[in-house]
C-alpha cells in the first residue's frame, strides 16, 4: 500500500523539529520536499527562509521571506525573518520597517516574536530599538524574568547602570535561578567597585553557568581578596577547571589553519591573488622564523591611537592605556574586551593569545592592523 503524502503542516512540524536540533541541512531538505507538493504554503516558505538564514545564505533567505509575504503580506514571522535578513545586508532602516510593522499589525502580545526581534536588534548594535521591543515583551508578560532581564541588558549597554541593576534585581526576584541575569548583575556591580555585592551574586552561580572567563576570573579574585582563599584552595578547583574548559588550548594544526584562513581573507579583501600554496609556504616560513612578513614589529590603530610592538606588547599597551585595568592580567583585559565586543558586534573574539585577539578584533571592525 502506497504511503500517503504528509500534509503541509506535518512537513512544517518535522522541519521545525530538525531546525531546533540544529540540523539545518535536513530541515532544508524536508522544506524543499514539502514545497514541491505545497508551493503556496506560507509556513513552508517562512521555514525555508529561517533555515537559509541559519546557513548564512542571506540572499536565498530574503527570497523565501519575500515569497511568503507575497502570499500573505501581514505574516508576522515572515516580516521578522525578512527584517533579520535585511540587517545582514546592512539595511537597518528596511529592517526596522519590517519589525515595527509587526507592532502595527497588533502582534505585541506575541512574546516570543518581540524577544526574537529585540535580540536581533541587540546583536546588530541597535540597542535603543532593541530595548523598545524588550519593553513591549516585559509589559505583555510582567512575570517573565527573561524579558525583564533583557531590558536590563539594554539599559546597561545604553549607560544606565542604576536602571540596569534595579531591573536585573527585579528579574532575579521573579526567577532566582536565572543564571545569565545573575552573572550580568555581578559583573556590573564589580565594574562599579561594589565587590561584596558582586561576590554575593557570583557565589550563587555554578561554573557551568559561565560561558566566558571574565566572571570566573573575578569570582576567584574576590574569593582571594575578600575571603582569603589560597591558590590551592579546593573551593577554587571547579572554577579553575571551568576556565580551562573555556580557554582550552588550540591544537597547533588548528592554529596554523586558522592563521591561513585569516591571511587568505586579508588577501581577498586587498584584491591580491596569491595562490594558497604560496600562502601556505609563506606562513610556514614566518612561523619557522618567528616573525611577521616584513620582519618588523606590528602596528595597529585603535580609537585614534597607534600601538606598536609584538602582538603581546600591543595588547599590554592597550591594557595600560586604560586605568580601569591597572594591575590586571592580560588575560583579564582580553576577556573583558572580548565580552564587550561580542555584546556590541555579535562577534566572538578569541582570548587564548594576543595575535588571535587582535586579528579577530580587526575583523569585527574594532581596530585597524597597519602591519
pLDDT value for 44: 96
Sign of CA dihedral 358, 361, 367, 371: positive
Name residues whose C-beta falls within 8 Å of residue 208's C-beta, 6 or more positions apart in sequence.
Answer: 242
Position 262 scores a pLDDT of 53
Q: Which of 111-115, 169-173, 253-257 has the lowest mean pLDDT?
A: 253-257
Write down the pLDDT at residue 296.
52
pLDDT in tens, 120-172: 999 999 999 999 999 999 999 999 999 999 999 999 999 999 999 999 999 99
For the chain, what percent of residues have pLDDT higher than 70?
A: 83
Q: What is the pTM of this model?
A: 0.67
- pLDDT tens, position by position, 178-227: 999 999 999 999 999 999 999 999 999 999 999 888 899 999 999 999 98
d(CA 286, CA 145) in angstroms, rounded, equals 51
Residue 279 has pLDDT above 90, yes or no: no
Average pLDDT of the chain to the nearest whole number = 85
What percent of the chain lies above the pLDDT cut of 90? Answer: 58
List, in order, residues 6 or more apart from 42 with CB less than 8 Å away: 68, 71, 72, 75, 78
pLDDT of residue 267: 54
Backbone angles phi, psi at 368, to 5 degrees: -120, 125
**Alpha-carbon distance 147 to 283, whole Å?**
48
Tens digits of residue pLDDT in 335-349: 888 877 776 677 788
Provide the grid cell at 321: 592605556
The answer to whether residues 14 and 6 touch, using CB atoms and an 8 Å cutoff, is yes
Q: Are 181 and 208 in contact (CB under 8 A)?
A: no
- Please give the residue that has the higher pLDDT: either 337 or 1: 337
Distance of CA 44 to the CA centre of its chain: 28
| Residue 107 pLDDT exceeds 80 | yes
CA–CA distances in Å: residue 155 to residues 29, 152, 158, 199, 305 = 41, 5, 5, 22, 29
In terms of DSSP bridges, do strands 305-309 and 368-369 run parallel, antiparallel, or are they unpaired?
Answer: unpaired
Task: Tell me whether residue 90 is exposed, middle or buried, using C-beta atoms within 10 angstroms of its C-beta: 0 to 12, 13 to 18, 19 or more.
Answer: exposed
Amino acid at each position: 500500500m502506497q504511503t500517503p503524502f504528509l500534509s503541509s503542516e506535518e512537513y512544517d512540524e518535522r522541519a521545525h523539529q530538525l531546525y531546533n536540533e540544529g540540523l539545518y541541512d535536513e530541515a532544508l531538505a524536508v522544506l524543499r520536499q514539502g514545497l514541491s507538493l505545497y508551493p503556496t504554503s506560507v509556513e513552508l516558505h517562512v521555514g525555508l527562509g529561517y533555515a537559509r538564514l541559519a546557513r548564512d545564505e542571506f540572499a536565498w533567505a530574503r527570497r523565501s521571506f519575500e515569497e511568503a509575504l507575497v502570499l500573505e503580506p501581514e505574516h508576522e514571522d515572515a516580516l521578522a525573518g525578512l527584517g533579520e535578513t535585511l540587517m545582514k545586508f546592512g539595511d537597518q532602516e528596511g529592517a526596522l520597517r519590517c519589525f515595527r510593522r509587526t507592532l502595527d499589525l497588533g502582534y505585541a502580545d506575541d512574546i516570543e516574536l518581540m524577544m526574537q526581534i529585540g535580540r536581533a536588534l541587540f546583536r546588530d548594535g541597535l540597542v535603543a530599538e532593541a530595548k523598545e521591543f524588550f519593553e513591549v515583551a516585559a509589559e505583555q508578560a510582567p512575570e517573565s524574568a527573561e524579558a525583564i532581564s533583557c531590558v536590563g541588558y539594554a539599559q546597561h549597554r545604553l549607560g544606565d547602570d542604576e536602571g540596569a541593576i534595579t531591573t536585573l534585581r527585579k528579574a532575579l526576584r521573579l526567577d532566582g535561578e536565572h543564571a545569565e541575569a545573575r552573572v550580568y548583575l555581578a559583573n556590573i556591580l564589580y565594574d562599579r567597585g561594589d565587590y561584596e555585592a558582586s561576590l554575593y551574586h557570583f557565589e550563587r552561580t555554578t561554573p557551568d553557568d559561565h560561558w566566558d572567563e571574565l566572571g570566573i576570573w573575578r569570582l576567584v579574585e574576590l574569593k582571594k581578596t575578600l575571603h582569603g582563599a589560597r591558590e590551592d584552595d579546593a573551593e577554587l578547583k571547579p572554577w579553575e577547571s571551568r576556565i580551562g574548559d573555556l580557554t582550552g588550548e588550540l591544537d597547533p594544526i588548528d592554529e596554523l589553519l586558522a592563521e591561513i584562513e585569516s591571511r587568505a581573507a586579508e588577501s581577498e579583501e586587498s584584491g591580491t591573488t596569491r595562490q594558497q600554496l604560496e600562502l601556505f609556504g609563506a606562513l610556514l616560513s614566518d612561523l619557522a622564523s618567528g616573525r611577521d612578513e616584513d620582519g618588523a614589529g606590528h602596528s595597529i590603530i585603535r580609537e585614534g591611537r597607534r600601538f606598536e610592538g609584538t602582538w603581546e606588547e600591543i595588547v599590554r599597551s592597550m591594557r595600560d592605556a586604560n586605568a580601569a585595568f591597572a594591575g590586571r592580567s592580560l588575560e583579564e583585559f582580553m576577556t573583558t574586551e572580548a565580552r564587550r565586543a561580542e555584546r556590541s558586534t555579535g562577534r566572538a573574539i578569541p582570548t587564548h593569545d594576543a595575535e588571535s585577539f587582535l586579528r579577530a578584533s580587526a575583523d569585527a571592525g574594532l581596530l585597524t592592523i597597519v602591519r
